[in-house]
A and B are shown apart, each in its own frame.
Chain A
Amino acid sequence: MKKQFVWLLAAMMAVLIVGCASQKGPAEQAIAGAETALAAVRDQAQKYVPDQLQAVDAQIASAKDAFAKGDYKGVLAAGPGIMTAISGLKDAASAKAADADAALSKAKDAWSSVSTDVPKMVDAIQSRVDILSKSHHLPPNVTKDSLGAAKSGLDSLKSMWSDASSAASSGDYTGAMAKAQAVKDKAADIMKSLGMTS
């Protein structure tokens, strides 16, 4: 009886070992498949959804850890969840990329308009500053201080506009638009201080 039990136990161990070994290959393939799928979306995910990518990386690291410990069953159980997470990561990154493309396109259009507009504002201010600088008496709504501030503000405007143009030239239309708006606001203030808006 005792001998029979030992044989039974040995047989069960053998089945278990063979069973585990038969799961090793699929578990290895599951990890490799997940890594391949993630590699295909990693760059876009890193750019647009880095936190979500980090979570998926952690899931794969956990599966690898389980694999190293021989928990192939655990790896296989986690596999579908990891693939779903990668699919979600891909969708989220694609959606954010589409949003970014739309924002870039909008900024590009806006830049096209503002790049014509702002130089005209600056030219109008330059013209008025040049004329007022020749004036023997300033008009009542313009002081010497405001004219002086307009002159230095004009230099600042040109420098700011140069920065905005550089940003646009390098393809950063969103940044260029932010800088251009600051130039427009400042130009509007100067025009007001010179009585050009009344």
Chain B
Amino acid sequence: MADETPPAANNPYTQTHVVVAGDTLSKIAQKYYGDPSLYTQIFEANRDVLKDPNKIFPGQTLKIP
């Protein structure tokens, strides 16, 4: 068992969220973590598809670590 959390990218058990119109990373963080300030956790887990935390698009599938 690794002590450090591996990249969520390679983990099929990492939860996912499909972006809908009106979503922001903060709103998604609020939904899954209860705290919008934790949006950075989602952004970091999705750096392979997100370049800017303010630019997410409907239909994108994001990993929720």
Contacts and interface: CB of A to CB of B under 8 A. Distances in A.
A132 B33 contact: yes
Nearest to B33: A135
A119 B34 contact: no
A131 B13 contact: no
A185 B5 CA distance: 21
A128 B35 contact: no
Contacts, number: 63
Interface residues of A, number: 27
Given A122-B1, A123-B5, A123-B6, A135 B35 contact: yes
B55 interface: no
Given A131-B41, A131-B65, A191 B13 contact: yes
A47 interface: no
A120 interface: yes
Size category of the binding interface on chain B: 20 to 34
Given A124-B11, A139-B31, A134 B38 contact: yes
Interface string B23-61: 000000011111101100100000000000000000000
B22 interface: no
Contacts of A161: 1
A196 B12 CA distance: 12
A162 B38 CA distance: 32
A132 to B, nearest CB: 6
8 contacts: A120-B11, A121-B13, A123-B11, A124-B13, A135-B38, A139-B32, A142-B34, A195-B32
